[in-house]
Structure 1
Amino acid sequence: MDQLNSLPYLDRVVRETLRLYAPVPETTRVAEKDDVIPVSEPFVDRFGQVQDSIRISKGASILIPILALNRSKKYWGEDAHEFKPERWESSSEAAASVPGVWSHLLTFLGGPRACIGYRFSVVETKALIFVLVRAFEFALAVPPEEIEKKTSVVQRPQLRSAPDQGAQMPLLVTRYTRE
């Protein structure tokens, strides 16, 4: 653990990966009571009325767009869709307002319904990357345009030419040798 925690660039890579490629792109909640949710910016509804809140009825499903918020230019800047681990060298003031349980991201949600295993997930991810990247080199075994995302509860890669074969990511793996 101490060795993993002493690797700041590994930490930045994991944060950026989980920001940009959250395994669970969205989730839902069900309202337990009638409520009014304020919005950060007024919007025009389908009837042309300007609204500063959203009325929610008991029993209504509420979509939480995790991936959309993690990639929002409002919080992450114009380069929000780019993979840039360097963005974690200093935190954005706008991103600091995101109520996630980890790193101002909604990857693991926030509040009382946040993922209870997020710490384990982060450490496990760091450990896997630390071990694998030091020992192996990876390359796609198919052209990049052959890979697409399949989303159900979690996102997984699949081949465009074989969607009926389920999740897959063909890789060429070779042992890394230091020169």
Structure 2
Amino acid sequence: MGLINTTIKPFKATGFKQGKFVDVTDADVKGKWSIFFFYPADFTFVCPTELEDLADNYDTLQGMNVEVYSVSTDTHFSHKAWHDTSPAIGKIKYTMLGDPSGVITNNFDVMREGIGLADRGTFLVDPDGVIQFCEVTAEGIGRNASELLRKVKAAQYVASHPGEVCPAKWEEGEKTLAPSLDLVGKI
């Protein structure tokens, strides 16, 4: 996972968003924070629970100037069909990108070799298109949008406060650290 602090690679994909098919490119991502939320496949089991959890937090993320893109190697047509039939997926307002060619999935290095499905990968991309955070979990381990929100807040704080860092379990409004020689061995 050598993707931290690298710029996202070029891509063009069609997605499903709020009843419409939309085209999205890497250029569209720049200018605001973005979450790329990879999952194995539509019409599965853990995936809808994760995507629904993210959908329940989408308005909060929007208020933080964060756009969300869920990505699987399914097509945008499959995303629409799933959205139209699943109560959990029907809640989604963010863009569900189709990546049947695997370009985006391979760009983020979460393609399962020989299988054609994405791992559960979460990536936070800053407004310059630089990856600031990534997390990949095994098939059966669902993610938590509340923890993702905390990490987004920490990344945004660090970006707007040069010279400060957020310690473990940091929550918005809590004390941060200013790394210096004076702190070495005192924490």
Q: TM-score, normalised by structure 2?
A: 0.24
Q: Name which one, 1 or 2, has greater alpha-carbon Rg.
A: 1
Q: Looking at both structures, which has the greater relative contact order when contacts are Cα pairs under 8 Å and sequence separation is at least 6?
A: 2
Q: TM-score, normalised by structure 1?
A: 0.25
